[in-house]
Amino acid sequence: MAEAGKVNLVASPPRSGHALEFSGLDYTYAASSEPALRGIDLVVEPGEFIVLAGGSGSGKTSLLRAGCGLIPHFHGGEIDGTALVAGRPITGNGPGQLADVVGYVAQDPETQIVSTTVAAELDLPLRFRGDHPAERARAVEEVALALGIPHLLSRTVTTLSGGELQRVALAVALVTRPPLILLDEPTSQLDPVSGDELIWLLRRLNEEWGVAVVLAEHRLERCLAAADRVVAMDEGRIGFDGTPRDFLAWAIELRPELATPSAMMFAGAGVEPLPVGVRDARQILRHEFPAPLDQGWGPDNESVPASQDAPSVLEASGLWVELDPGDGPRDVLRGIDLEVRAGEKVALMGRNGAGKSTLLRAAAGLVEPVGGRTMVPEGIALLTQNPGDFLVRDRVGDELAGPEGEAAMKAVGLEVDPDRDPRDLSGGERQRLALAIALAGRMEGRALPGLVCLDEPTRGMDRGLKCHLTDLAKRLAAQGSAVLIATHDVEFAVSFADRVILLGDGEVIADAGMQTVLSGGWYFASEAARVFDRPGLVTVEQGVDYLNDLRNGAEGEGR
């Protein structure tokens, strides 16, 4: 078997000097009155690694769609200016004609998959290109090895998890060896380990094989250290274009919601320079403060467990669920015993395939257990992982009408033109629209369910919108609901949860206070925890306090 590091995936060279070029690009969606892109001037050189930053709805997705021909050929609308992919104008070349020079991975990978099996899906773009069967077979095998998915080749696509779908969509984008790849939040459904592995793989593609990468992300702490350059979108325009460190200084001053946790901690304590990643932060600390504080230092605000007098809103006893992913039945949940009480805010975490979504679906009665039982005596509201499950109308205004709909939209921080087609919204906007639909008319009073379950609700959300969701979770908990959120976003879990339940291979492997579970680890740990490695230090605010204590200690020693 070929070693992954020896797989021959060298990108085909671009057919012009630039991998991607926009000049004076304006674009407006068909059903919108406001431009999504305004005067975009951008050049992506061969072999560059660019992180595309910006708030939800700032134009990141639209820019990537223009870079692969989906705009204007799929979404319609009005376009002006110049857009060239490897020298080819997008107005005269659709996604099919551009597939050999650009690969695209959308926010919702399930919308890109059209074949029955994974192998057939990877083979499809090669077949369209007219490659010889032997060439196709080799290319499929190589890209599967490179992405670690050879075991999925025979699987039917309908049996894949969200994380598996993202890897398959990336493989489809890479199988033709394009010189440019565009990715829209590719780590949004991946656990911390898989997310780090994907960023490492993209950097390897970039450094060893010459692939130009444009990566749109909200969790910039995952990818900023890998970037050569950062481009930040702001209301359809390019607000910043420069180095990662310069971007952080710009973000702290003008767009603090885009700054990474490390940068916020260092800026809050006045420590310079701002770190680009955890490794950089640790190096700066070693230089500035060679002697750490006494081991006795620690935060004194450990999360408080729910009162044992609060009524139970979820009970799982010996819960055993069996599902068939296409290669025979397997145990997804194995003897789960847990209880959630009214008023609790719980983060449900674990690696891809650990059973998080299945547990939520079992609580809602959507899957039948083969053993044990679940009880939700006060009712349940469930937002599933795919917002498309909730969006069935052609207008946003038809999805949510009346005062209850307006209140739900306000609660999730969504302000969009009611005439917009939900399919034209950004991923974060679709996610919030689905959340509003799930909770409309059920956020207070007798209609309030005892248990609110949200499955990966932060996909496509910037930090400001995650704060909206945190406030909503606290509001629901204060009114007596328990809020159980399955998430891979450690920073979000730190912001809202009192308790963390960690699943592994269908079993509960940890169940404790948030600060106990999310500090002291390598992956299931916040950035503050990974920078400082102090028990219980998990938040940006605690990080600022610790840095200030370090500075005061250093000044007291006369440094």
What are the DSSP calls for 524-540, one per residue? SS-HHHHHH--TT--SH
Mean pLDDT within 15-32: 87
Could you give the CA distance from residue 320 to residue 331 in angstroms, rounded to a whole number?
7
pLDDT at 395 over 90: no
CA 133, distance to chain mean position in Å, is 36
Contact assessment for residue 3 and residue 200, using Cβ atoms and an 8 Å cutoff: no
Going through 444-493 in order, the beta strands assigned E by DSSP cover 451-455, 482-486
116: helix, strand or coil? coil
21: helix, strand or coil? strand
Phi-psi region of 440 (alpha: psi -120 to 50; beta: other; left: phi over 0): beta
Is the model more confident about 156 or about 24? 24
Contact assessment for residue 463 and residue 469, using Cβ atoms and an 8 Å cutoff: no
% pLDDT > 70, the chain: 92
Query: What DSSP state is assigned to residue 268?
Result: H
Give the alpha-carbon dihedral of 134, 137, 138, 144, to 10 degrees: 180
Query: How distant, in Å, are the alpha carbons of 6, 139, 260, 459 from that of 102?
Result: 23, 16, 29, 24
pLDDT at 302 over 80: no
Could you give the CA distance from residue 78 to residue 553 in angstroms, rounded to a whole number?
60
pTM score of the predicted model: 0.85
Could you give the CA distance from residue 103 to residue 283 in angstroms, rounded to a whole number?
36
Phi, psi dihedrals of residue 298, rounded to the nearest 5°: -175, 155
- Give the number of other Cβ atoms within 10 Å of residue 532's Cβ: 24
pLDDT band at 240, cuts 50/70/90? very high
Could you give the CA distance from residue 107 to residue 94 in angstroms, rounded to a whole number?
19
Nearest to 49 by CA among 205, 168, 188: 205
- Give the number of other Cβ atoms within 10 Å of residue 501's Cβ: 23
Residue 198 confidence (pLDDT): 86
pLDDT at 16 over 70: no
Q: What is the CATH number of domain 18-258?
A: 3.40.50.300
Is the model more confident about 8 or about 27? 27
Could you give the CA distance from residue 412 to residue 405 in angstroms, rounded to a whole number?
11
pLDDT band at 160, cuts 50/70/90? confident
552: helix, strand or coil? helix
Contact assessment for residue 107 and residue 61, using Cβ atoms and an 8 Å cutoff: yes
Range name among 246-250, 305-309, 530-534 with the lowest pLDDT average = 305-309
Tokens of 267: 């800026």
Is the model more confident about 65 or about 147? 65
Sign of the CA dihedral 457, 458, 464, 470?
Answer: positive
Residue 194 confidence (pLDDT): 83
β-bridge partners, 181: 103, 213
- Please state the length of the chain: 559
Residue 559 confidence (pLDDT): 44
Q: Which CATH number fits domain 312-532: 1.20.120.550, 3.40.50.300, 3.40.50.2300, 3.10.180.10?
A: 3.40.50.300
- The residue written with tokens 């006045």 in the block is 270
Give the alpha-carbon dihedral of 499, 502, 503, 504, to 10 degrees: -170
Name the burial class of residue 282, with classes exposed (0-12), middle (13-18) and buried (19+) by CB atoms within 10 angstroms of its CB: middle
Residue 407 confidence (pLDDT): 84
**CATH fold match for the domains 18-258 and 312-532:** yes
- Give the number of other Cβ atoms within 10 Å of residue 556's Cβ: 8
- Give the number of other Cβ atoms within 10 Å of residue 467's Cβ: 16
β-bridge partners, 295: none
pLDDT at 41 over 90: yes
Residue 96 confidence (pLDDT): 84
What are the extents of the domains in the chain?
18-258, 265-297+539-556, 312-532
Is the model more confident about 312 or about 385? 312
For the stretch 338-381, pLDDT in tens is 999 999 999 999 988 899 999 999 999 999 999 999 999 999 99
Could you give the CA distance from residue 349 to residue 510 in angstroms, rounded to a whole number?
10
Residue 5 confidence (pLDDT): 36
pLDDT at 511 over 50: yes
Sign of the CA dihedral 540, 546, 551, 554?
Answer: negative
Could you give the CA distance from residue 531 to residue 164 in angstroms, rounded to a whole number?
30
For the stretch 204-233, pLDDT in tens is 889 988 999 999 999 999 999 999 999 999
- Give the number of other Cβ atoms within 10 Å of residue 400's Cβ: 20
Instruction: Give the helix/strand (H/E) hosting 212.
Output: strand 212-216
Q: Could you tell me what percentage of the chain is helix, strand and coil, using 3-state DSSP and rounding each to the nearest 5?
A: 40, 20, 40
Residue 99 confidence (pLDDT): 86
pLDDT band at 462, cuts 50/70/90? confident
Going through 328-466 in order, the beta strands assigned E by DSSP cover 330-341, 345-350, 371-375, 380-383, 451-455
For residue 74, give every residue at least 6 positions away whose Cβ sits within 8 Å of its Cβ, in sequence order, or none. Answer: 65, 94, 95
For the stretch 430-458, pLDDT in tens is 888 888 888 888 877 778 899 999 999 88
Nearest to 101 by CA among 28, 14, 163: 14
For the stretch 539-559, pLDDT in tens is 999 999 999 988 887 555 544
Mean pLDDT within 269-275: 94
Could you give the CA distance from residue 407 to residue 344 in angstroms, rounded to a whole number?
23
β-bridge partners, 49: 213
Amino acid in the structure at residue 308: Q
Q: Quote the mean pLDDT of the chain.
A: 88
Could you give the CA distance from residue 379 to residue 481 in angstroms, rounded to a whole number?
10
For the stretch 111-152, pLDDT in tens is 778 888 999 999 999 998 889 999 999 999 999 998 889 999
Is the model more confident about 314 or about 188? 314
For the stretch 497-509, pLDDT in tens is 999 999 999 999 9
Strands 345-350 and 499-504: parallel
pLDDT at 255 over 60: yes
Instruction: Give the helix/strand (H/E) hosting 2.
Output: none
Could you give the CA distance from residue 23 to residue 170 in angstroms, rounded to a whole number?
28
Could you give the CA distance from residue 504 to residue 508 in angstroms, rounded to a whole number?
6
- The residue written with tokens 């107005």 in the block is 91
